[in-house]
Amino acid sequence: MDSFNDLTSPATLLATRRSGKARDMTAPGPDAATLKTILSAAMRVPDHGKLAPWRFVVVEDDRRQALSDAMVAALLAEKPEAGRLETDAIRGFALQAPCLVIVLARTNPASHISEWEQLLSVGATCGLLCVAAHAQGFVANWLTGWPAYSPGVLAAVAETGERVAGYVFIGTQMRPLEERPRPDYDAVVRVW
Ligand SMILES: Cc1cc2nc3c(=O)[nH]c(=O)nc-3n(C[C@H](O)[C@H](O)[C@H](O)COP(=O)(O)O)c2cc1C
């Protein structure tokens, strides 16, 4: 067992989380019960005003192709100049990895809690979702890109007023993960 898999210590768990690459993920992904555990953990996020300004859309296996089709249709409608490479990339986007959760931001403009603070909670839930997947022995990958900003895709996956905070792919990494350079501690921490 390498240190990445030794998740018995909470400190190790937090110190070893890293993203996988959705395109390099393979089975298994979390089963329904484990995914529920992961999503339940992700909901335990700081949330000023208890607004839950986020929600999760679990894209079932048998709906992935429909989502892929919707993305390609939106691409061709919004970017008729898109070439084959781009179209193929968008076609494959929703088909990556064993598990896909779309995190939607549903901020409440009428609340006395600012939108800024609500969006901070949305980002926090995405991050915690990645940590929770790691805690269950999986890798996660939080992606956005064109599918997160296309009005056509938004109409297919979200309700009016919602935004895509991320597509979070979860699975098992095919290849060992390379470490990514992390910020220099002293560059980002000051004692005041
Ligand atoms: C809001 C948001 C959107 C992101 N979108 C992408 C993306 O579209 N493509 C990508 O390669 N990485 C994207 N990333 C970065 C990855 O999720 C991940 O953080 C990065 O690959 C570094 O891996 P790490 O989590 O191990 O630091 C995004 C991160 C955030 C916070």
Q: What is the pLDDT of residues 89-110, one digit of tens each?
A: 999 999 999 999 999 999 999 9
Q: Ligand 1 within 6 A of 143 CB?
A: yes
192 CA distance to ligand 1 centroid (A)?
30
**Tell me: the pLDDT tens digits for 21-52?**
999 999 999 999 999 999 999 999 999 999 99
Instruction: Provide CATH code, domain 18-60+96-175.
Output: 3.40.109.10
For ligand 1, atom 14, the nearest C-alpha belongs to: 143
- Are the beta carbons of 154 and 164 closer than 8 angstroms? yes
pLDDT of 137 reads: 96
Q: Which residues of the chain have pLDDT under 50?
A: 1-3
Q: What is the pTM of this model?
A: 0.96
Exposure of 118 by Cβ count < 10 A (0-12 exposed, 13-18 middle, 19+ buried)?
buried
pLDDT of 6 reads: 58
- Are the beta carbons of 86 and 143 closer than 8 angstroms? no
pLDDT of 86 reads: 98
From CA 57, how far away is CA 151, in angstroms rounded?
Answer: 17
Closest CA to 146 of 101, 79, 49, 84: 79
For ligand 1, atom 23, the nearest C-alpha belongs to: 19
Most informative mutation of 130, 143, 149, 178 for ligand 1 (most atoms within 8 A of CB): 143
pLDDT of 117 reads: 98
For ligand 1, atom 17, the nearest C-alpha belongs to: 142
